[in-house]
Amino acid sequence: MELIDTDKKTKKKVISANNDREKKVLIAKPCARAADVLDFYKISTLIVVVLFAVVTAIPFIIMLSVSLQTMKEIYSPELAFIPKELQFVNYAKAMKNGAWGRYLFNSVYVTVIVVIISLLINSMTGYVFARIRFKGRNFLFILLLVGMMIPPQVTMVPLFIMMKKFPLAGGNNIFGAGGKGLINTYAGLIIPFIAGSFGVFLCRQFYMTFPQDIDNSARIDGCSRFMTFIKIYIPLSKPVLASLGILKFTGTWNEYNWPLIMTNSDNMKTVQIALTMFRDEAEILWNQLMAATIVSSLIIYALFLCLQKYFVAGILAGSVKE
Amino acid sequence: MQAKRRDGLNQIYQKKEVIEDSFFKGRASKSRASGNKVLKNRLSKDDREAYIMISPFFIFFVLFVLVPITVNFVNSFTNYNLGKTRGFVGLENYIKLFVDRDFLRSLWNTLIYAAFSVIPLTVLGFITAVAVNGRAKIFYITRALFVFPYVTSMVAVSMIWLYMYEPTTGVFNKILISLGFEPLKWLFDEKLALLCLIIMNIWKNIGYVMIIYLAGLQSIPENLYEAGKVDGASEFKMLFKITIPMVRSISFFIFVTTSIESFKTFEQVRIMTGGGPVNSTTTIVHQIYLRAFSEYKMGYASAISIVLLIIIFAITMMNMKLGKGKGQNDEI
């Protein structure tokens, strides 16, 4: 009993001492009134968070709700967030409105190939720039940085011409005339995404943090640079590959401009292009459109939720200035 | 796996220590001019291996980034229109730009779009970042929520907002009517359409700005706030006197990246408005697209592309010149 009592007493003492100190501070700066303002600050941040969260979430909720409504409900003048009856049939109908299996396959195929190839060549190039001091390194690196600044929208027109005039492809002769070139081919859809230099930059940043000793010691064991990269660097680069992978994946999956100009046959459409087909119809079937929108975004959301950490790390690494 | 790898590395380290001195110290000091024949051979072998390893990337990079930009530059001085002969017309394309009303309108629209996207994005993104910069669980969840629009494709986002803006069935008009206001024409209204696109853009990209600011906020040394507390400063005062000055260079970076992004605006214009009504939402990239792929004026479209490139380079250069040496976040 006594123990507890004394404990309480000492605690009280400590607390009162603290209060005294706080009081002194408050007396010294009467305008501050720290305790009150702190609460007000916390409440206001909470209000901001809730408000912004609601504003962010509403369009998504509307998308989900519309995808489960009938067209009749959509046309009715009242605002209805919750559909009377969940119309899951909209999803099935939307997927039959056009060859959605094919579109999804196209998108997955293009994206997966882009991700695999860019992970391979970007990490290898990044490693070389981070670790090997070769002739012309600075020049090539500056070239690469300049290339990073060139937006794809600027090279869109000449790239299209080059793809159309690609020699010995799609019925073209060796001078690139006569046929359609790489238009409406997977190669045409994939190639420009591999050429971006952002990934090299990202990997280089990452490999720069490795101790130089790793290379030196691998060398003593008779490892060539390439083998050092494969055997030592690759197993250690899961974070950077995950970051680059998810950024490349979302970037390629979400791309609209390039597939728009590169494809005109229904067979080669990616999901983003296919979505806009609903828009082009005389009467827009909003419920099917929203259902298709959700289907096309699900893979991105799943990936984002799993690899959130790496996604953010990738964005931040790209934002760091050279 | 991990343990095995570590063992391997340890072995490597141990071996390394035995022979470290003689050979690698020399190499580490970058003495290229050394007359040591072995070293020289070694270096050139390194060079060769480096070139081989970077060649796959550089083949793609040269062929599909550097060559196109050069082709673009050359084409901008021609009247090339796919198929027919490519005639040199000098600066004609560029001179035409100055009297092309569509292009001038698109330039103006893009400027307005950029200005009215960037400023609210920076301010609102900052507020969001400050608000969610806590350790409670609600903050973690909302942080992820704010990034959702950013990872959603522009096509999907455009579709959602297209529905919400729709005059007859859309959500906004239903709300306006239920509150007793006159319904608006939103995207079909010449004066409102660009604003509609701007609002959507802000909604989509706020998560990106928040991510960058959050990283900035977390890199501010904690002791500054402790010192502030001891001095009896309120949280709001510290926000203005400590936080905002400390994230100045980040704000500048965000200003630059979001303006560059705004100058590349195309998808939402093509999907939602098609540049209309009466060219009130056409943007630079939309003009490039129209000239090149509906009129096949490749030369003219190339000239517009070069103008866009110059604008973007100017913004980037401004970033390099002005963005350096301000605030604390200038690590490599």
- Asked, for residue A285, whether it belongs to a domain, the answer is yes
Taking an 8 Å cut-off on Cβ atoms, the answer to whether A48 and B160 are in contact is: no
- Asked, for residue A42, whether it belongs to a domain, the answer is yes
Percent of chain B with pLDDT over 90: 37
Taking an 8 Å cut-off on Cβ atoms, the answer to whether B57 and A260 are in contact is: no
Residues A176 and A47 in one domain: no
Domain count for chain A: 2
- Asked, for residue A2, whether it belongs to a domain, the answer is no
Q: Which among A67, A83, A103 is the end of a domain?
A: A67
> Hey, is B78 helix, strand or coil?
strand
Interface-testing mutation among B61, B62, B286, B313, with chain A (most A C-beta atoms within 10 A): B61
Residues A172 and A298 in one domain: yes
Question: pLDDT category, A80, cuts 50, 70, 90?
Answer: confident
Bridge partners of residue B324, in order along the sequence = none
> Hey, is B88 helix, strand or coil?
strand
Count of other CB atoms within 10 angstroms of residue A240: 26
The complex scores an ipTM of: 0.82
In this prediction, residue B324 carries a pLDDT of 58
- Domain limits of chain B? 24-75, 92-322
Separation CA B55–CA A118 (nearest Å)? 13
Residues of B in contact with A122 (CB under 8 A): 57
Separation CA B148–CA A140 (nearest Å)? 36
Q: Does A166 touch chain B (CB under 8 A)?
A: no
Residues of B in contact with A75 (CB under 8 A): 168-169
H or E stretch covering A287? helix A286-306
Taking an 8 Å cut-off on Cβ atoms, the answer to whether B131 and A48 are in contact is: yes
Residues A125 and A254 in one domain: yes
- Asked, for residue A152, whether it belongs to a domain, the answer is yes
A98 and A274 Cβ atoms separated by less than 8 Å: yes
- The residue written with tokens 């991700």 in the block is A115
Taking an 8 Å cut-off on Cβ atoms, the answer to whether B134 and A128 are in contact is: no
> Hey, is A39 helix, strand or coil?
helix
Taking an 8 Å cut-off on Cβ atoms, the answer to whether A134 and B144 are in contact is: no
- Asked, for residue A37, whether it belongs to a domain, the answer is yes
Burial A99-119 (b: 16+ CB within 10 A, else e): ebeebbebbeebbebbbebbb
Peptide bond into A259 cis (omega under 30): no
Peptide bond into B277 cis (omega under 30): yes
Which of A54-63, A251-260, A278-287 is predicted with the least confidence, judged by mean pLDDT? A278-287
Residues A176 and A43 in one domain: no
Residues A130 and A50 in one domain: no
Q: Does A81 touch chain B (CB under 8 A)?
A: no
The whole-number average pLDDT for the span A180-191 is 87
> Hey, is A24 helix, strand or coil?
helix
Taking an 8 Å cut-off on Cβ atoms, the answer to whether A45 and B130 are in contact is: yes
In this prediction, residue B15 carries a pLDDT of 44
Predicted confidence (pLDDT) at residue B30 exceeds the cutoff of 50: no
Taking an 8 Å cut-off on Cβ atoms, the answer to whether B155 and A272 are in contact is: yes
Question: pLDDT category, A85, cuts 50, 70, 90?
Answer: confident
Give the tens place of pLDDT for each residue, A208-241. Answer: 888 888 888 888 888 888 888 888 899 999 999 9
Taking an 8 Å cut-off on Cβ atoms, the answer to whether A79 and B152 are in contact is: no
Domain at A159, CATH number? 1.10.3720.10
In this prediction, residue A321 carries a pLDDT of 46
| CA terminus-to-terminus distance, chain A | 66
Residues A119 and A229 in one domain: yes
Give the tens place of pLDDT for each residue, B155-198. Answer: 999 999 999 998 888 888 888 888 888 888 888 888 899 999 99
Residues A62 and A103 in one domain: no
Q: What is the extent of the structural domain holding A56?
A: 13-67
The whole-number average pLDDT for the span A169-194 is 80
Taking an 8 Å cut-off on Cβ atoms, the answer to whether A133 and B46 are in contact is: yes
Q: Does A311 touch chain B (CB under 8 A)?
A: yes
Which of A49-53, A133-137, B44-48 is predicted with the least confidence, judged by mean pLDDT? B44-48
H or E stretch covering B102? helix B101-132
Give the tens place of pLDDT for each residue, A105-122. Answer: 999 999 999 999 999 999
Tokens of A223: 């490892």
Residues A38 and A183 in one domain: no
A71 and A271 Cβ atoms separated by less than 8 Å: no
- Asked, for residue A5, whether it belongs to a domain, the answer is no
The residue of chain B nearest to residue A53, with distances taken between CA atoms, is B142
Query: CATH for B92-322?
Result: 1.10.3720.10
Tokens of B88: 């040199």
Residues A171 and A292 in one domain: yes
Residues of B in contact with A123 (CB under 8 A): none
Separation CA B36–CA B129 (nearest Å)? 56
- Alpha-helical (H) ranges within B152-192 are 154-165, 171-178
Indicate the average pLDDT of chain A: 82
CA A308 to chain centre: 9
- Asked, for residue A83, whether it belongs to a domain, the answer is no
Residues A57 and A136 in one domain: no
- Asked, for residue A80, whether it belongs to a domain, the answer is no
Restricting to A residues 132-151, those with a Cβ less than 8 Å away from any Cβ of B are 132-135, 137, 140, 143-144, 147, 149-151
Question: pLDDT category, B28, cuts 50, 70, 90?
Answer: very low
Taking an 8 Å cut-off on Cβ atoms, the answer to whether B232 and A160 are in contact is: no
In this prediction, residue A29 carries a pLDDT of 44
Q: Does A250 touch chain B (CB under 8 A)?
A: yes
Report the largest interatomic distance among the alpha carbons of chain B, rounded to a whole angstrom: 88
Separation CA B259–CA B264 (nearest Å)? 9
In this prediction, residue B153 carries a pLDDT of 93
B132 and B215 Cβ atoms separated by less than 8 Å: no
The residue of chain A nearest to residue B202, with distances taken between CA atoms, is A56
